Amino acid sequence: MAWSLRGAAAMHSPLARPPRPPRLVLHLAHALAVLGLLLAAAPAAAAPASLPDVDVMLVAEIPDTAGWLAMHQEAIGTAGSTKPLRLGLPAGVGGTRWLRVDEPKFSVAIVPTGGRRLVKLAVTGRLAGSDALSGLVPFEHAAIEVQAGALPNELSLIYGLTVVSGRLLELYFSRP
């Protein structure tokens, strides 16, 4: 077998084509490049403009004092991480309009007059911007219908596993 110097020089020549990488390496490099482009574009497309939270304050009468005491016990027992409070009002077209109040703070007044068992409850908290955008106006509409007497004043409050019914007295919203 003849070996020539010219063939060996051609292998080390700068003009000679380098050996091709294995096909698997090329496929992996291509897949990583496509994945990198997708991940770089995804947050920009999926991240909507963040909406500010809405502060809420609600005042209600709770005639179900036993239910309130159970809810208050549950609220006191979750001091480390508060649960959301769900508020519901009847809707004019059937069903119930709900709001989720995050980080609720409860204030209670027990006024021993009139010979009735009644708790006056004030709740403050916040609505997440996206929840406010989708649920605040329908809930306000239901509250206005209750105010006008077109719907029964039956407020539902759900905290954890406890459900309490009452009457809506006042409702305030503010956006910082």
Residue 19 domain boundaries = 11-46
Tell me: do 21 and 72 sit in the same domain.
no
Tell me: do 95 and 154 sit in the same domain.
yes
Residue 54, pLDDT above cutoff 70? yes
Name the nearest CA neighbour of 82 among 136, 27, 35, 126. Answer: 126
Question: Do 71 and 83 touch, CB atoms closer than 8 A?
Answer: no
Does pTM top 0.85 for this prediction?
Answer: no
Q: pLDDT tens across 128-140, in order?
A: 988 888 889 999 9
Q: Is residue 126 part of a domain?
A: yes
Q: What DSSP string runs through 13-77?
A: -TTSPPPPPPHHHHHHHHHHHHHHHHHHHHHHHH-PPPPPPEEEEEEEEE--HHHHHHHHHHHHH
More confident position, 161 or 82: 161
Q: pLDDT tens across 28-46, in order?
A: 565 555 555 455 555 444 4
